[in-house]
């Protein structure tokens, strides 16, 4: 009974914090599906990430807030460029998402042949200028297990970037401070010319969430940190 009571208390606390969260309110006002759009907004501002004419791939896109933000930014930048420069957004996730105008969505695991074929068709022979990965595991609360899951997803994102990212492109990947984080930083340093760690203000203060950005591939055959 104590465990259930504590769980209910935690849920009520989370719900209260969520309802009162300024980014949640802003997302509702501006039509974003989640507050995560503002994390990407800060990353974009810090890195000058999005430019007209880019091809961008959004991994772990559900429910679609990052793709929404990217599409809006591309639309504004294209308008500023006279509307003559077209940009492409391809989103992937295991889960289905509601359609987003101007975004090509592919449901499935990008390691599977059928999904890769659909992705290749969507890319139409072009490498991606930007790869975003908001991939995150379902955390168990067991530190060693959760660290391994996070590491695995980051490594998958890096492998994807090595196959599909333009040589001077950028990968932005969700990570978490804690066990294994320093190894992920080393992985990025081995793979990319420039590496930055960003903790957006829109990430909740209690969260260990952070984002690693790698710019300019050193090699498409970079060795992973074990």
Active site residues: 174
CA distance linking residue 110 with residue 156, whole number of Å: 9
Task: Tell me whether strands 88-93 and 103-107 are parallel, antiparallel or unpaired.
Answer: parallel
- Residue 212 is encoded by which pair of tokens? 């690693």
How many helices (H) and strands (E) in the chain? Answer: 7, 7
3-state SS of 54-85 is: CEEEEECCCCCHHHHHHHHHHHHHHHHCCCCC
Query: Nearest CA to 143 among 165, 184, 94, 176?
Result: 176
């Amino acid at each position: 009974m104590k465990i259930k009571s504590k769980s209910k208390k935690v849920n009520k606390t989370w719900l209260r914090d969520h309802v009162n969260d300024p980014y949640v309110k802003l997302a509702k006002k501006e039509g974003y599906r989640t507050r995560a759009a503002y994390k990407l907004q800060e990353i974009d501002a810090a890195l000058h990430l999005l430019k007209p004419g880019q091809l961008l791939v959004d991994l772990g896109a559900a429910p679609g807030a990052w793709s929404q933000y990217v599409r809006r930014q591309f639309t504004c930048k294209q308008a500023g460029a006279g509307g003559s420069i077209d940009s492409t957004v391809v989103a992937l996730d295991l889960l289905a998402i509601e359609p987003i105008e101007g975004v090509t969505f592919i449901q499935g695991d990008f390691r599977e042949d059928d999904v890769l074929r659909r992705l290749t068709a969507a890319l139409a022979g072009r490498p991606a200028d930007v790869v975003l990965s908001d991939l995150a595991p379902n955390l168990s609360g067991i530190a060693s297990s959760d660290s391994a899951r996070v590491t695995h997803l980051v490594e998958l994102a890096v492998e994807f970037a090595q196959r599909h990212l333009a040589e001077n492109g950028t990968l932005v990947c969700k990570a978490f401070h804690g066990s294994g984080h320093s190894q992920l930083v080393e992985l990025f340093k081995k793979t990319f010319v420039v590496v930055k760690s960003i903790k957006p203000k829109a990430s909740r203060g209690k969260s260990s969430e952070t984002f690693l950005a790698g710019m300019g591939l050193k090699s498409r055959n970079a060795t992973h940190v074990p």
